[in-house]
A and B are shown apart, each in its own frame.
Chain A
Amino acid sequence: MATRKSNTLKLKFDSARNLAPAPESKSAAKIEPRYDLFINGKFEKPLSKKYFSTINPATEEKLSEVADANAADVNKAVVAARTAYDKVWKKMPAKERAKYIYRIARIMQERAREFAVVETLDGGKPIRESRDFDIPTAANHFFYYAGWADKLEYAFPNRTAKPLGVAGQIIPWNFPLLMAAWKIAPALATGNTVVLKPAETTPLTALKLAEIIQEADLPPGVVNIITGAGATGAALVNHPDINKIAFTGSTAVGKMIQHAIAGTNKKATLELGGKAANIIFDDAPLDQAVEGVINGIFFNQGHVCCAGSRLYVQESVFKEVIRKLKDRMETLIVGDPLDKNTDIGAINSRQQLDIINNYLKIGKQEGADMYQSSCNLPRKGFFCKPTIFTNVAQSNRIAQEEIFGPVLAIQSFRTDDEVIEKANNTPFGLSAGIWTDKGSKIFNLSSKMRAGVVWANSFNKFDPSSPFGGYKESGYGREGGLHGLSGYVNLV
């Protein structure tokens, strides 16, 4: 049989996307119609007397309303945290602190299903991810840091680790509960008390976490959870009795925080944006690399600060990789986040959807070739098709700026040196991925990548014992692992 032209061949995947609905039951989620501020171990009405709604981004229906904390509310929370620190938490033996943290972890495991459903309803992420990743990893963080609480002398040999005091923590909307765990667990383990502000579009799991904290019988004021938008966050950052700011979010806000705390004694760790390079060499296991690219950019709708949003493919395998990538994209199921088969859920908010759509427009105007999978989107809610751009140059905005959506900018490269230079040619430096069958190449590249995390033949892998953080405008400080403790202690 003669060799046929491969460019005319096309596989069909429509039936792979059309499975009977398999929705997770909403009844697992108990959501109150209204949430107050969690201060001093109790839910208290806001002094601001104001509330705002939080919606389900997949249906645009209101889920609940939460308090909008003003500066007076923030002050109340900080005072509660300071009192708890001075009177109870810093005096408590580390072993006893650990017991409370273990208790939080265990209750979170017991209520995992409920938390997964709430996370998916409030944030739009697929239930498969909240069930298999967000909630279990959050619980693991509490388990992990509970273990460190009474072993700090081994974490910092020959030094004494003293807590900082009150930590103000501001977290983003992409991994609401997990980011709360990343922040709260090491702070408590090292003997600090906490005022945490979740993002305004995804406050519910943090408020459910407040229920866990009540259930775990933590001393009042050790953990305070206040809700609100940017103004609430600013009040927290500027409060004079805060010893430490831990922030995860955009680079723009990170810069504002740095301005605000300049000249004060406040410590900070910032985990900001990214534009990670995912690099495929011609000797890579291509099918697994393509899967890694899919996980790198379409995990959590691309709302991941370490998302592999720039793909570099060696020219000799460029066409093959693009073909495999397109075939794989055809099998991605986009839709109802509560359906157990959904791969890509809802974009977190209308505002974020507008930002993403604007970048799609920019990409086309810049002359790049856009390809989207042929899936259908639900009529209601905020959705975006998985998208790749080819024919992209390093000077394109879609290759330079963080889009924070399911949008991948693909470029080709020829040599190792060229791709190292291109990958590092960004103001960000959070993560990178390298795909090759050759171990020596992995060591060479990973030592030259200016990125906090470099994954080899994998992407978006997380573990509580592994530190995470950025270079350059991706922030500073590390969270997770042994390194995550040092952001919350003074060593004497």
Chain B
Amino acid sequence: MIVTKNIPDFTASPHIDQVGVEERASRFTKRSIKNETKINGLKLALNMIDLTTLEGKDTDGKVKQLCYKALHLHDAYPGLPTVAAICVYPSMVKVAKQALGDSGVKVASVATAFPSGQAPRDIKLRDTKFAVANGADEVDMVISRGKFLSGEYNFVFDEIAAVKEACGSARLKVILETGELGSYDKVRRASDIAMYAGADFIKTSTGKISPAATMPVTLVMLEAIRDFYYKTGKRIAMKPAGGISKSKLALHYLVMLNEVLGEAWMNNEWFRFGASSLANDILMQLMKQRTGVYQSANYFSID
């Protein structure tokens, strides 16, 4: 589905000043988040996590364990939220779906020849359809960075639109792999292409390339989402992924989200963290807030 009849010229996407955007991003880290704001923020961050395992060695057993963790983050702390979703490869979707049942935790599946995206389009579409047919609620696709960098924006646009169609009712996250794009200008351009082509989410990274998510890159994407919202009235969700493993950094991201897109985006329908080790750090901080002392990492399960 194309969201607007007026497709802009993507070569005319707004330019980004590197110094300015990095300075602005660092300003969010100066906010001092304390007491109830901190606790609420930590719980919200927990509830926004896409708990992820994307390894060649993934097995049914591993995925089931991760799903149990998603539902029981830390039973020693009653009243905790669950994570937002489990993120797995397409072959693991069925197992995850069964393990999570009707808990409300979503199953997200990467697709489209993740992580490189170097495959013919029909294979990418079959990959997507397979994931959706197995019950994926969300699909995390990768864009063709090679085509994007060689200026074939129409190819990238059409591919995203085709995958969106193949998703049916599943929500589509479009991974830009910003670590391979090389400049903030390109991140902005890729964001615009993805949103106009039908993305429900735009996502920074696969987690397989360094650098993964950074605050300035995420800021550029949030600003693109805001401009798109004002132009079309349509909300797009955001998912920074990779490299966010500490609660403090997660809180900085939430400050940034709150100051760029406002309250309407402050929930897991419109924002996710793609992360695997973040959850335990948040749990550790929450326990510290409650008991006044840090507990050893041995008290937190490592699924």
Contacts and interface: CB of A to CB of B under 8 A. Distances in A.
Nearest to B4: A3
Contacts of B16: 285, 287-288
A283 interface: yes
Interface residues of B, number: 39
A4 interface: yes
Nearest to B256: A16
Contact of A13 (B24, B229, B262): B262
B172 to A, nearest CB: 15
Nearest to B232: A3
A342 to B, nearest CB: 10
Given A9-B229, A457-B19, A20 B24 contact: no
B32 interface: yes
Contacts, number: 103
Given A1-B4, A286-B14, A20 B34 contact: yes
Interface string B247-281: 00000000100110111101000000000000000
Interface in B19-39: 19-21, 23-24, 30-38
Nearest to B38: A20
A120 to B, nearest CB: 15
Nearest to B2: A1
A1 B34 contact: no
A200 B148 CA distance: 61
Nearest to A19: B37
A14 B263 contact: yes
Given A13-B258, A19-B34, A323-B230, 15 more contacts: A1-B1, A1-B4, A1-B234, A3-B232, A4-B233, A6-B233, A11-B226, A11-B261, A13-B262, A20-B37, A128-B30, A287-B14, A291-B24, A437-B15, A458-B20
B57 interface: no
Interface string A15-42: 1100111100000000000000000000
Contacts of B38: 20
Contacts of B233: 1, 3-4, 6, 9
Interface in B207-263: 223, 226, 229-234, 255, 258-259, 261-263
Highest count of chain B CB atoms <10 Å: which of A1, A284, A289: A1
6 A-B pairs with the lowest CB-CB distances in the bound complex, closest first: A288-B20, A4-B233, A22-B32, A11-B262, A285-B17, A20-B37
Nearest to A340: B32
A457 B37 CA distance: 34
Contacts of A3: 4-6, 231-233
A259 interface: no
Given A4-B232, A9-B230, A16 B20 contact: no
A132 B30 CA distance: 10
B14 A15 contact: no
B15 A20 contact: no
A128 B35 CA distance: 19
A266 to B, nearest CB: 42
A292 interface: yes
B258 A15 contact: yes
B3 interface: yes
Contacts of B223: 287
Nearest to B262: A11
Contacts of A288: 16-17, 19-21, 24
A83 interface: no
Chain A interface size, as a band, is 35 or more
A16 B259 CA distance: 6
A9 B229 CA distance: 8
A117 to B, nearest CB: 15
A12 interface: yes
A283 B15 contact: yes
A21 B37 CA distance: 9
Interface in A286-311: 286-289, 291-292
A331 interface: yes
Contact of A19 (B6, B14, B33, B230): B33
Contacts of A289: 20
18 contacts: A1-B4, A1-B232, A3-B4, A4-B233, A11-B226, A11-B262, A13-B262, A16-B263, A19-B33, A20-B33, A128-B30, A132-B30, A288-B17, A323-B230, A340-B30, A341-B32, A437-B15, A457-B17
Nearest to B261: A11
Contacts of B230: 6, 9, 323
Contact of A1 (B3, B17, B20, B258): B3
A329 B6 CA distance: 30
A317 to B, nearest CB: 10
Contacts of A437: 15, 17
A15 B263 contact: yes
A2 B5 CA distance: 8
Nearest to A436: B15
A12 B17 CA distance: 26
B198 to A, nearest CB: 10
Nearest to B233: A4
Contacts of A22: 32-34
Contacts of B21: 285, 287-288
Given A4-B232, A20-B34, A340-B32, A13 B263 contact: yes
Contacts of B37: 19-20
A373 to B, nearest CB: 13
A51 B19 CA distance: 48
A331 B34 CA distance: 18
B170 to A, nearest CB: 18
A341 B264 contact: no
A99 to B, nearest CB: 35
